[in-house]
A and B are shown apart, each in its own frame.
Chain A
Amino acid sequence: NAGVMQNPRHLVRRRGQEARLRCSPMKGHSHVYWYRQLPEEGLKFMVYLQKENIIDESGMPKERFSAEFPKEGPSILRIQQVVRGDSAAYFCASSLSTAGQGPVAFFGQGTRLTVV
């Protein structure tokens, strides 16, 4: 049973380009979360998705960032017109909803985005 798969592991973009980060959740998991980790900081929640639905995007910057989790295929975090401040590690997590028992999120290895 493969874990959460993220690709690419490392991504370099020039300022103004677009970055696309992909996340395939664990088999059977229908909940996907994206987090951002700035250097020497903890993880900050960005967005929570279920298949074809954005459930909570309260942590997403208002501009340039978008996320989707289509019926088929991986979840995509898209950053348009990247700036140097977007350089960070972006982690995806997935979970199998177990209401009342407490969720357990499994994390991918992350995509390290560097904007030059």
Chain B
Amino acid sequence: GNSVTQMEGPVTLSEEAFLTINCTYTATGYPSLFWYVQYPGEGLQLLLKATKADDKGSNKGFEATYRKETTSFHLEKGSVQVSDSAVYFCALSSNFGNEKLTFGTGTRLTIIP
């Protein structure tokens, strides 16, 4: 079955530091990959996505590249801000007509000024 393994948290960084949150996956076929962000007390918001190998998703300074050879989709940002403090979830969806998402366990990120 499908699974997502995500970097354990929590992660604490200083403002303007470089961020990497690792995500690897196991899936049959060619899944779509996503990063969602959850702010305190809120639902999940789609941060970025990639639907095929070598695609790069990007949004709000965050980037992730779909690496089929390493089955990875690591999230990166060059300079984090306090407002980036949230929980980040890596997820995948197969493209076989049932579009349910399989999530990683989430990584709590805290940025200190």
Contact A42 B89 (CB under 8 A): yes
Query: How many Cβ-Cβ contacts under 8 Å join chain A to chain B?
Result: 66
Contact B95 A100 (CB under 8 A): yes
- Which residue of A42, A97, A105 is within 8 Å of B105 (Cβ)? A42
Contact A107 B32 (CB under 8 A): no
Given that A100-B95, A102-B32, A102-B93 are contacting pairs, would A45 and B46 also be in contact in the complex, using a CB cutoff of 8 Å?
no
Interface positions of B (Cβ within 8 A of A): 6, 32, 36, 42-46, 49, 51, 89, 93, 95, 97-106
- Which residue of A41, A104, A108 is within 8 Å of B43 (Cβ)? A108
Distance between Cα atoms of A4 and B46 in the complex (Å): 13
CB of A25 within 8 Å of the partner chain: no
Distance between Cα atoms of A99 and B100 in the complex (Å): 13
**Residue-wise interface mask of A (92-116) relative to B, using a CB-CB cutoff of 8 A (1 in contact, 0 not):** 0101010111111111111000000
Given that A48-B100, A95-B99, A97-B99 are contacting pairs, would A103 and B93 also be in contact in the complex, using a CB cutoff of 8 Å?
yes
- Which residue of A41, A45, A102, A107 is within 8 Å of B45 (Cβ)? A107
Contact A55 B98 (CB under 8 A): yes
Q: Which 7 A-B pairs have the closest CB atoms?
A: A102-B32, A102-B51, A103-B99, A42-B103, A109-B43, A107-B44, A107-B43
